[in-house]
Amino acid sequence: MLYKELAKYYDLIYHWKNYKKETNQIKKLISKYKKSDGKKLLEVGCGTGKHLKYLKDSFSCTGTDISGDILNIAKKNVEGVLFKKADMKKLRLNKKFDIILCLFSSIGYVKTYTNLKHTIKNVSRHLTKGGITIIEPWFSKSKFKAGMPGMTTYDGKYLKIARLNISEVKNNLSILNMHYLIAEKNKNIKFFADRHELGLFDTSKTLKIMKDAGFKAKFLKNGLMKDRGIYVGIKV
């Protein structure tokens, strides 16, 4: 179902994530690597806009996501940013940007190498020469462990959430069948299952795809989150 009625719980599930700190790291990468002069920034797979909230004062920001429900939350969270529903695999905004971000493993949702190629070509097409893309990946196949239990909780006074899953791997795909139990004051307990499928992409193959799409690209081991690293590409 990919979020839908769970969209309103997204920010609670990820309450532990320090978007402000991550955004400062992103700003440093932009200052270090961007060669173009402009300040037009696009984030694809922007979710509820939590990075854009800290970027909008420094850049002219647009956020896109495939989920209308998630974008509705983003519009409430952040003012002064243009939000549009768009699938990154088929991105056609008829506009160029200086910075294109794809963070917190949103890229994994394209699932296949064919889609990854389309998406990275789209990113390249939407960047000006000297512009930068920063892509925070999902795990590579060698790093992802099948069969591992995962748990995230939110413990508010009137609302409590437990989200559990056991990871699976099928060929180059990781499957996270998230089971949610949600307890809210004066309501019946709700149960949802939300299946997430993310591609397990090799670092060397991803770098090759970026290079073929017109980027001078590198993978930095120390990214925003532990174990995920980050890709930086400069449009040549």
| Least Å from the CB of residue 10 to ligand SAM | 7
List strand residue ranges (DSSP E) for the chain, in order: 40-44, 60-65, 82-85, 97-102, 127-135, 149-155, 159-166, 168-170, 173-184, 190-199, 215-220, 230-235
Query: Judged by CB, which is closer to ligand SAM: 44, or 182?
Result: 44
| Least Å from the CB of residue 115 to ligand SAM | 8
Closest-by-Cβ residue to ligand SAM is 47
Query: Judged by CB, which is closer to ligand SAM: 182, or 224?
Result: 224
Query: Judged by CB, which is closer to ligand SAM: 45, or 131?
Result: 45
Distance from chain centroid for Cα 9: 17
Is 181:161 a contact under the CB 8 Å cutoff?
yes
| Least Å from the CB of residue 187 to ligand SAM | 25
Query: Judged by CB, which is closer to ligand SAM: 12, or 183?
Result: 12
| Least Å from the CB of residue 87 to ligand SAM | 4
Buried b (16+ CB within 10 A) or exposed e, 58-93: ebbbbbbbbbebbbebbeebbeebebeebbbbebee
Query: Judged by CB, which is closer to ligand SAM: 34, or 51?
Result: 51
How many Å apart are CA 203 and CA 119, to the nearest integer? 16
| Least Å from the CB of residue 129 to ligand SAM | 25
The two three-digit tokens of residue 163, written as one number? 């989200």
Where along the sequence are the contacts to ligand SAM (CB under 6 A)?
A: 44-47, 50-51, 65-67, 70, 87-89, 103-106, 109-110
